Amino acid sequence: MRVQFLQEPPFIFYFMIFFETLIKILMLFLGLAVINARNPVYSVLSLILLFLLSAILLIYLGVSFIGMVFLVVYIGAVSVLFLFVVMMLNIRHAELTSSELYYLPVNGLLFLIPLSIEFYQYFKNYSRPFNDPDIMSVDYLKLLTSLPDSEVLGAMLYGFEFGFSVLLAALILLVAMIGSIVLTQNFRNDVKKQDMFSQLSSAFTTSINIYSIKPKT
């Protein structure tokens, strides 16, 4: 990776490069750790860290709203779900099975081909903010006419343009909630339960039958 400077950049740009590279390497290793960790708890922990790093990255890039949403939703909801499931279920340690080795060529191919294409495209064009010659001037017009990202998002979400998508997203969440409850319902037979509706709707006329019995002589 060659970095070209037209002028001598300020010191902060080196920090920026270091920060960005660090984040990238950490995310890469965390991603691998999610899959290959020995303990399921370790893999969930790596997942949480991955989400955290991506939130940091997004805030670093200036979109603070989306970063905070990542924090709240991804880490606060999804990872918690994973943690609950990992703790509830008894997950065994699995060794490398022979069938995985059998499928390794195919899977390796399926993984390596896009990777190589990706690297080929990556090394074709590599852009830096430093290639811009005018780096010391401030674009006041851009500053004045730009809105913060949360306001932009709010205008789009609750306006006419994408309001419908919000409703759909809400519907999806509703379905997910109902679905997860229904799927994990546990009907236990050995517990006494009360059926309130039938209790409240019992009346004199339906619950007592009067018979007249004559004794046999």
Partner 1 sequence: MGVAILFLPLLSFFLVSIFGKIIGTKGSCYFTTINMFFSFIFSAVLFFNNYFCIKTYTYFIWLDSQLLNVTWNFTFDSLAVGMFLVVTCVSFFVHVYSIEYMSGDPHQTRFMSYLSLFTFFMLFLVSAGNYLQLFLGWEGVGLASYLLINFWFTRLQANKSALKAVFVNRFGDFFLGMSLIIIFYCFKTLDFSIIFSLVHHFNVIEYNFCGFTLNLINVAALFLFLGAVGKSAQLGLHTWLPDAMEGPTPVSALIHAATMVTAGVFTLIRSSPILEYSDVLPIIAVVGSFTALFGASVAVFQNDLKKIIAYSTCSQLGYMIFACGLSQYSVAFFHLFNHAFFKALLFLTAGSIIHALSDEQDIRKMGGLGRLLPFSYLMFLIGSLALAGLPFISGFYSKDAILELAASSTFSYGYFCFVMGAASAFLTAFYSIRTIVLVFYVRPGGLKSSYVTCHEPNYFMTLPLASLCLLSIFSGFIFKDVFIGFGTDFWINSIYTISLNTTVSESEFLPVAYKLIPLVITFLAFLVAFLVYSTNLYKFVTEKLYVSNLQFFLNKKWYFDSVYNYYFSSSFYSFSKNLMFKDIDRGLVEIFGSFGLAKFSGNLSSFVSSNLQSGYLFNYIQLFITGLLVFFISIFFYEFYVNFELISSTIIFYLILTKKNNV
Partner 2 sequence: MNYSSYALNFLDISSCLFLIGISGLLVIRKSLISLLMSLEILLLAVNLNFVFFSLYLDDAVGFLFSLMILTVAAAESAIGLAILVSHYRLTGEINIEDIKYLKG
Provide the binding-site residues for partner 1, judged by CB under 8 A.
Answer: 99, 102-103, 106-107, 110, 113-114, 117, 121
- Number of residues counted as binding partner 2 (CB under 8 A): 82
Query: Would you give the DSSP letter of residue 79?
Result: I
Q: Out of 6, 32, 87, 167, which residue is the one contacting partner 2 (CB under 8 A)?
A: 32
Question: Minimum CB separation from partner 2 for residue 5, in Å?
Answer: 15
Least Cα distance to 45 among 81, 83, 74 occurs for: 83
How far apart CA 32 and CA 43 sit, in angstroms, is 9
Nearer to partner 2, 1 or 208 (CB): 1
141 binds, among partner 1, partner 2, none (CB under 5 to 8 A by kind): none
80 binds, among partner 2, partner 1, none (CB under 5 to 8 A by kind): none
Q: Out of 7, 8, 12, 114, which residue is the one contacting partner 2 (CB under 8 A)?
A: 114
Rule CB under 8 A: which of 143-162 touch partner 2? 149, 152-153, 156-157, 162
DSSP SS3 for 101: helix
* Crossing angle between the packed helical segments 40-61 and 80-88, to the nearest 10 degrees: 180
* List of residues 6+ apart from 192 with CB closer than 8 A: none
Q: Which residue has the tokens 């918690």?
A: 80
* Crossing angle between the packed helical segments 11-36 and 40-61, to the nearest 10 degrees: 150
- The verdict on 141 binding partner 2 (CB under 8 A) reads no
- The verdict on 163 binding partner 2 (CB under 8 A) reads no
* List of residues 6+ apart from 133 with CB closer than 8 A: 6, 7
- The verdict on 92 binding partner 2 (CB under 8 A) reads yes
Q: Determine the interface stretch with partner 2 among 71-79, 189-197, 200-208, 209-217 (rule: CB under 8 A).
A: 71-79
CB of 23 within 8 A of CB of 61? no
196 binds, among partner 1, partner 2, none (CB under 5 to 8 A by kind): none
How far apart CA 27 and CA 83 sit, in angstroms, is 20
Instruction: At 202, list the tokens.
Output: 């019992």
Q: Out of 138, 141, 196, 208, which residue is the one contacting partner 2 (CB under 8 A)?
A: 138
Rule CB under 8 A: which of 34-53 touch partner 2? 34-36, 40, 43-44, 47, 50-51
